[in-house]
Structure 1
Amino acid sequence: MKKIAILGCGALGSTFGGLLTEAGFDVALVNLKTDHTDAMEKAGLIFVENDQQRTVPVKVYTDAAKAGPVDLIIVLVKSNFTRAAIEGARALIGPDTVAMSLQNGLGNEEVLEDFLGKGRVLGGKTYVGGTLLAPGKVKIGVKGKKTLIGEFDGTISARAELIRTLFSQAGLATDVIKDIRTLTWQKLLVNVATGAVCGITRLTYGPLQQSTEVMDCAMAAVAEALAVARASGIILEVNHPREVLGQAVAGLPADFKTSILQDVERGTPCEVDFINGAVVRAGEKLGIPTPVNRALVALLKGIELQQKQ
């Protein structure tokens, strides 16, 4: 894989793009025009790591056609923008291009396969951290943070191993796993537990845990998701909603804000369709009622509509 594109260059996309560039790979950072892309084009990408600062000259494109076809597309846009992003980046797709989603939620791989074709999409989850400090400046957290990738058919493929090698050379500790679907569901459960309820109530993690009623609602949403996952044949490490809630809040400060809450505060569309909405859609296919998740989706849609007025 000689040429790589990062589709979606927020804090995390910039982290991956910058590290892969530093490792000597030909990387195109593809994103809509923003203050952040302008700053990277003019002065490079500034990394802040362990209180030290360094600049990485990166190639930034707001027009995918100028980047041309690549071997690997790493997708890091918000899930609700996946279709629009890959539609606008068709020029990246060549006859042998593969894509890998490192996004939240369920359903991104189906969207990507619509454009690349069946069998040309891998999945993954990363615990690498990236925080945008200012346009063109990102604080990165890589040490001790794993990235897990895999094929959706459960095989350990040569291309997945190649991506693992590329990432490892860039300082991104990466493992290839067989059951990427289970990992995706486990991450989804954590997002189901707190994302929507925090977005609707505007509560951070501290106050969230002080409200019995809100916590009961969160656990009911997780219980529905657990039922749908089991009916889908997913073997999970957790068995009770309380365990999932514990995973969601573990090690995070009382003022922690979920990504959905941050989107609500910014007045931007959130990923609820690919989180709680994914539970609803999977439940419909299996004949499993998901009224709590359906209500959470509806309430967030109402908030978004109100913000447009």
Structure 2
Amino acid sequence: MNICILGAGALGCAIGAALTEGGSDVWLINRDARHVEAMNRHGLRIERAGRDTYLPVKAARSADEVGVVDLVVVLVKSFSTREAIEGAKSLVGDNTVVLSLQNGLGHEDILAEVVGRERVLAGKTYVGGVLLGPGHIVSGIEGKETLIGELDGSLSHRAQGIAEVFNRAGLRTTVSANIMGTMWDKLLINVATGALSGITRLVYGELYAIPQIRETALAAVAEAMAVARAAGIRLSFTHPEQAWTLAAEGLPAAFKTSMLQSLEKGSPTEIDFINGSVVRWGQRLDVPTPVNAALVACIKGIERAQILSRKEHTA
């Protein structure tokens, strides 16, 4: 299968590397020239399960270098979804499928507006990755599940075919007939750890060592579960503890959430599409979400402080 990873950062490279090793013809797209050059010149450096290897890959800064593919896996940051897919129309042919594996909610609707709803699959992945430098990642795919599905809940042949390709590559993947429930399940994972890791600047090993952080995480997840129930969403979790536990399963103690990685780089976070989604849905459904609102406020404050700090240093 010809596959393009649109947004080959830490997670995109981890998934793209697995698919490459599984025999697919994979392109990795990232706007960072140093990252792309390092991968093309030396291969993608991957640290996983105590091993450090270099994998030859194909990387590009623009979709125009790639051409039409069978599958576009969208992994850009939530706030860049429309810009990214608008700039990647050259990847999309008559039979191309566009699959979002992004964090948060709402990306599938943006993709559908640009390429047509009939082309779009939604999904969530529990695979992890950390970008250590240009062309250098830590990959966490072992035992981590990926779920994909049609927006109408049907169990299509094309979704099953993509799942088979992923499974052959060691990415444990199943097709879901309840993709909205699946997406909310993953949202709960991100609600549990993303903002708290970003605020405290702690990696997983330290984050999970503090009882007060666990209590706050469970409260945030409980709010999100209450919102989901009010919206009629079928969740697989029955208790907030499940989301908190699953978030760290199979990942190293040094793992950093994508929100923490964004803050360390001074980049905008996806808070509006994660805890912010819980707050917006809660307001719509009249479900209180004070813990999530506080986490959003803290992350927004950190983002603002970073902007002001950069201005001071460039003045």
Larger mean Cα displacement after TM superposition, 244-253 or 57-66: 244-253
User: How much has 1:91 moved relative to structure 2?
Assistant: 2.2
Structure 1 match to 2:91: 92
The change in CA–CA distance for 1:87 and 1:263 in structure 2 (over 3 A counts) is: same
Larger mean Cα displacement after TM superposition, 173-182 or 139-148: 139-148
The change in CA–CA distance for 1:252 and 1:23 in structure 2 (over 3 A counts) is: closer
Please list, as runs of the form range in 1=range in 2, the aligned pairs for 1:104-143 lying within 5 A after superposition: 104-143=103-142
Structure 1 match to 2:210: 210
Give distance in 2, aligned partners of 1:158 and 1:208: 40
1:272 lines up with 2:271 in the alignment: yes
Please list, as runs of the form range in 1=range in 2, the aligned pairs for 1:55-204 lying within 5 A after superposition: 55-204=54-203
Native 8 Å contact 1:126 1:148 kept in 2: yes
The change in CA–CA distance for 1:304 and 1:119 in structure 2 (over 3 A counts) is: same
Residue type at the aligned position of 1:6: I
Q: Secondary structure of 1:119's partner?
A: helix
Give distance in 2, aligned partners of 1:35 and 1:25: 24
Give distance in 1, aligned partners of 2:106 and 2:36: 28
Residue type at the aligned position of 1:72: L
Q: Secondary structure of 1:301's partner?
A: helix
User: How much has 1:139 moved relative to structure 2?
Assistant: 4.3
Residue type at the aligned position of 1:260: M
Q: Secondary structure of 2:59's partner?
A: strand
Native 8 Å contact 2:3 2:25 kept in 1: yes
The change in CA–CA distance for 1:34 and 1:182 in structure 2 (over 3 A counts) is: same
Structure 1 match to 2:305: 306
RMSD: 2.8
Give distance in 2, aligned partners of 1:24 and 1:276: 37
Native 8 Å contact 1:198 1:208 kept in 2: no
Give distance in 2, aligned partners of 1:92 and 1:99: 10
Post-superposition CA distance 1:102-159 (Å, at most 9, x none) = 2221122122112111232212233344444543244444443433222222211011
The change in CA–CA distance for 1:147 and 1:37 in structure 2 (over 3 A counts) is: same
Unaligned runs of 5+ in 2: 309-315
Give distance in 1, aligned partners of 2:62 and 2:109: 24
Q: Secondary structure of 1:283's partner?
A: helix
Native 8 Å contact 1:207 1:254 kept in 2: no
Larger mean Cα displacement after TM superposition, 225-234 or 61-70: 61-70
Q: Secondary structure of 1:6's partner?
A: strand
Q: Secondary structure of 1:27's partner?
A: strand
Give distance in 2, aligned partners of 1:47 and 1:202: 24
Larger mean Cα displacement after TM superposition, 101-110 or 285-294: 285-294
Work out the number of aligned pairs and report it. Answer: 307
Give distance in 1, aligned partners of 2:21 and 2:247: 33
Give distance in 2, aligned partners of 1:250 and 1:143: 10
Q: Secondary structure of 2:40's partner?
A: helix
The change in CA–CA distance for 1:144 and 1:156 in structure 2 (over 3 A counts) is: same
Residue type at the aligned position of 1:210: I
User: How much has 1:55 moved relative to structure 2?
Assistant: 4.2
Residue type at the aligned position of 1:12: L
Post-superposition CA distance 1:73-96 (Å, at most 9, x none) = 001222233223223223222343
User: How much has 1:203 moved relative to structure 2?
Assistant: 4.5
Structure 2 match to 1:3: 2
Post-superposition CA distance 1:240-275 (Å, at most 9, x none) = 434443444567677654332332233221111111
Give distance in 2, aligned partners of 1:234 and 1:248: 20
Residue type at the aligned position of 1:259: S
The change in CA–CA distance for 1:86 and 1:242 in structure 2 (over 3 A counts) is: same
Give distance in 1, aligned partners of 2:44 and 2:201: 33
Give distance in 1, aligned partners of 2:202 and 2:131: 22
Unaligned runs of 5+ in 1: none
User: How much has 1:304 moved relative to structure 2?
Assistant: 0.8
Structure 1 match to 2:311: none
1:296 lines up with 2:259 in the alignment: no
User: How much has 1:50 moved relative to structure 2?
Assistant: 5.1
The change in CA–CA distance for 1:301 and 1:237 in structure 2 (over 3 A counts) is: same
